[in-house]
A and B are shown apart, each in its own frame.
Chain A
Amino acid sequence: MKSRTIHVDYLARVEGEGALSVKIKDQQVTDVKLKIFEPPRFFEAFLRGRKFYEAPDITARICGICPIAYQMSACHAIEDACGIKITGPIRELRRLLYCGEWIESHALHVYLLHAPDFLGYEDAIRMAKDHPDEVKRGLRLKKAGNEIVRLLGGREIHPINVRVGGFYKVPEKRAFSELAEELKWARDAALETVRWVATFVFPEFERDYEFVALRHPDEYPFNEGRLVSNQGLDISVREYDQHFVEEHVAYSNALQSRLKERGPYFVGPQARYSLNFDKLSPVAQEAARSAGLGPVSRNPFQSIVVRSVELVYACDEALRIIEHFEMPDQPTASVEPRVSTGYGCTEAPRGILHHRYRLDDRGLIVDAKIVPPTSQNLKTIEGDLWQFVQTHLVIQKEKLQWQCEQAVRNYDPCISCATHFLKLHLERE
């Protein structure tokens, strides 16, 4: 009997701390574990007893990379509980803010975390010595996203201007037009990004995933829509708990989600793209086609191309919003709490982020549930590793290990987000 193990103690270039182990016996993969050991963070418990309007700011602290996603899902869930719907310029500004976060997050992942895998560098620092212009382009692109978040969010880090009902303050119209100049550069740079990553070599690999994303009749999804999949799911956000369940696994601090009826599913850029290609702007669709992508993308190693197409879309959409923007009469709608449960689901850079809050008659949060995208992808990542290793056993060990790590990074996992709500079962260790 011949056994071998691929073991990565500390996964580099992912947000948070995780480890990976794959066991192989007699040419068969016998076990795959993606372990997450960042200390759990008790945000759901922390929310209990807080005022309804505190949810966006408290949950924004969960992740330094995607605070806007947490603010948006929290706002929508609380507004749902209170029975109001935000429309008009405030809704547009929320989309603009989300564009900023996608640009920041995708630029960081494409250039500094994922590209080194394809070009054969251990990290972006070594890559920068040979590819300084690309790295500089990535940094400037990311900064363009930061500028949107700074303008609308009040500051780049832990933005403070978002509130249930809208914003504390809406910037002057002039500030938006200044932003537009840099965004025009950013859109060109994003198109250049698509052309660049399309030249990478992608391992041959496809699975028949169940993609899950929001879908909206009029737009590529950020804040609103129905939850749909390519295997027949079509539900309102309020029906989430009826269809999805989270399970604890002994070896990890993170819960793993699955569809009750069918098991693992896939969220994030490739799911959004494959379910909403027709809603991308013409320039983003054209960029995808030129990069050789069809309207559905099933090779997870090509997620870097899809992420780059979404960079194009986010810049393009931001410019569209700025061009047509009219100042709102009020920066916020008034929101009165009531005894109710509210649901919110928005498209974080890494995929759907689900929030649920139950409020009492004083407007206090009685119960909160937060399901980040990474915990929804964990089972799918393990499934990819299982199949990838099984079909690539002939590759020498170092290269196989490298590609396993790359396979994890395909999902841009944010391990700090995935663990924030977990209970630690030390007795099972």
Chain B
Amino acid sequence: MTLAPPNVVVIGVGNEYRRDDGAGIAVARRLHERFPSKVTVLEESGEGAALINSWKGATWVLLVDAVRSGVPAGTIHRLDVRAATVPAGFFHYSTHAFSVAEAIELARSLDQLPRNLIVYGIEGGIFDAGTGLSSEVETAVEELVERAAEEVRKALKVDVGN
């Protein structure tokens, strides 16, 4: 994997063939359009060991995934992983035995977390087989792209400033 120079990485996690589970992938693709050269944008299934490898060498990482925590669909969650642990079961919808939350905590154990890791979760509503986001999640994706783009811009400045 070749990283864009300031080591800013956006990772979209999910499966676009499981409706709202594709939210993270949708955000990642739209951010790639905003930052085609300065940011490395990756798409991942959420398998944890692959995730740990995906952020190797990066200094600032923003990860987006669909979550199911019981609040209304379209709710946006934000976690600064350096500041708090990821609640187990937060990404519970994933069918992987070793998933996003486990990858983050394993990387913390092994001292392999990037210096900055921001995790955004979009509460999903429909996880059936099929394509297309629900309208609540589509609205949340649009809002999150704006918020995340702002964070990425700041990160690029700070990183270049270093």
Q: A: which residues have CB within 8 A of B? A: 12-17, 38-39, 41-43, 46, 61, 64-65, 107-108, 112-113, 123-126, 128-129, 132, 135-136, 138-139, 142-143, 146, 156-158, 415-416
B49 touches A142 (CB 8 A): yes
Cβ contacts under 8 Å, A61 to chain B: 15, 17
B124 proximal to A (CB < 8 A) = no
* Residues of A with C-beta under 8 A to B46: 64
Q: Which of B61-69, B76-84, B93-101, B135-143 contacts A (4 or more CB under 8 A)?
A: B93-101
Complex interface: chain A residues within 8 A of B110 (CB): 128, 132, 135-136
Which of B52, B95, B105 has the most chain A CB atoms closer than 10 A to its own CB? B95
A108 to B50, CA, bound (A): 10
Q: Output the least CB separation between A231 and chain B (Å).
A: 32
Q: With a CB–CB cut-off of 8 A, which chain A residues contact B105?
A: 125
B17, B43, B47: most-surrounded residue (chain A CB, <10 A):
B47
- A139 to B97 alpha-carbon distance, docked (Å): 15
User: Known contacts A142-B49, A156-B50, A157-B50: does B44 contact A124 (CB below 8 Å)?
Assistant: no
Contact A17 B129 (CB under 8 A): no
Max count, chain B CB within 10 A of own CB: residue among A146, A156, A415: A156
The answer, yes or no, to whether B45 is at the interface (CB within 8 Å) is yes
9 chain-A/chain-B pairs, Cβ below 8 angstroms: A15-B96, A16-B95, A124-B98, A125-B109, A129-B109, A135-B109, A139-B49, A142-B50, A143-B49
Q: What residue of chain B has the Cβ atom nearest to residue A128's Cβ? A: B109
B53 within 8 A of A: yes
* CB-based contact B45/A38 at 8 Å: no
Most buried by B among A13, A15, A38: A15
Q: Which residues of B pack against A, CB within 8 Å?
A: 15, 17, 43-50, 52-53, 95-98, 102, 105-106, 108-110, 127-129
Shortest Cβ distance from B1 into A: residue: A150
Cα A55 to Cα B48 in complex, Å, equals 27
Residue of B nearest to A146 (CB): B50
Partner of A158, one of B45, B109, B127: B45
B129–A157 touching, CB < 8 Å: no
A157 contacts B109, C-beta separation under 8 Å = no
Q: A residues within 8 A CB of B49?
A: 107-108, 112, 138-139, 142-143
Q: Quick check: B95 and A416 within 8 Å, CB to CB?
A: yes
Please name all residues of chain B whose beta carbon is closer than 8 Å to the beta carbon of A64 when the two chains form the complex.
Answer: 15, 45-47, 95-96
Kindly state the separation between the CA atoms of A13 and B98 in the bound complex, as whole angstroms.
7
The CA of A157 and the CA of B129, in the complex, are separated in Å by: 17
Roughly how many angstroms separate A128 CA and B96 CA in the complex, as a whole number?
19
What is the bound-complex CA distance between A156 and B50, given in angstroms? 9
A135 to B48, CA, bound (A): 13
- Residue of B17, B44, B53, B95 touching A15 (CB-CB under 8 A): B95
Q: Which residue of A lies closest to B46 (CB)?
A: A64
Known: A128-B110, A157-B50, A416-B95. 10 other contacts (CB 8 A): A15-B97, A16-B95, A108-B47, A108-B98, A112-B48, A113-B97, A124-B102, A125-B105, A135-B109, A139-B52
B60 to chain A minimum Cβ distance, whole angstroms, is: 22
B50 — which chain A residues lie within 8 A by C-beta? 142-143, 146, 156-157
Chain A residues near B102 (CB-CB < 8 A):
112, 123-125
How close is A42's CB to chain B, nearest CB, in angstroms? 7
A139 to B110, CA, bound (A): 11
Q: Once bound together, how far apart are the Cα atoms of A416 and B95, in whole Å?
A: 7
Query: In the bound complex, do residue B53 and residue A139 qualify as a contact, i.e. CB atoms below 8 Å apart?
Result: yes
Q: Which residue of B lies closest to A129 (CB)?
A: B109
Contacts of B45 in A (CB 8 A): 64, 157-158
Return chain A residues, CB-CB under 8 Å to B17. 61
Q: Which chain B positions have C-beta within 8 A of A13?
A: 97-98
Residue ID in chain A nearest B43 by CB atoms:
A157
Please measure, in the bound complex, the distance between the C-alpha atom of A85 and the C-alpha atom of B144, giving whole angstroms. 50
Which of A16, A124, A415 is within 8 Å of B106, CB to CB?
Answer: A124
The 7 A-B pairs at the shortest CB distance, nearest first, are namely A128-B109, A416-B95, A157-B45, A64-B45, A125-B105, A142-B49, A16-B95
Give the docked Cα–Cα distance between A65 and B49 (Å): 11
Q: Quick check: B95 and A157 within 8 Å, CB to CB? A: no
Q: How far is the CA of A43 from the CA of B17 in the complex (A)?
A: 12
In the bound complex, residues from chain B placing their C-beta under 8 Å from that of A12 are 97
C-alpha gap A138/B46 in the complex (Å): 18
Q: Bound state CA distance, A242 and B141, in angstroms?
A: 50
- Asked whether, in the complex, the Cβ of A128 is within 8 Å of the Cβ of B53, the reply is no
Residues of A within 8 A of B15 (CB): 61, 64
> Complex: how many Å from CA A32 to CA B47?
31
CA distance A107 to B53 in the complex (A): 14
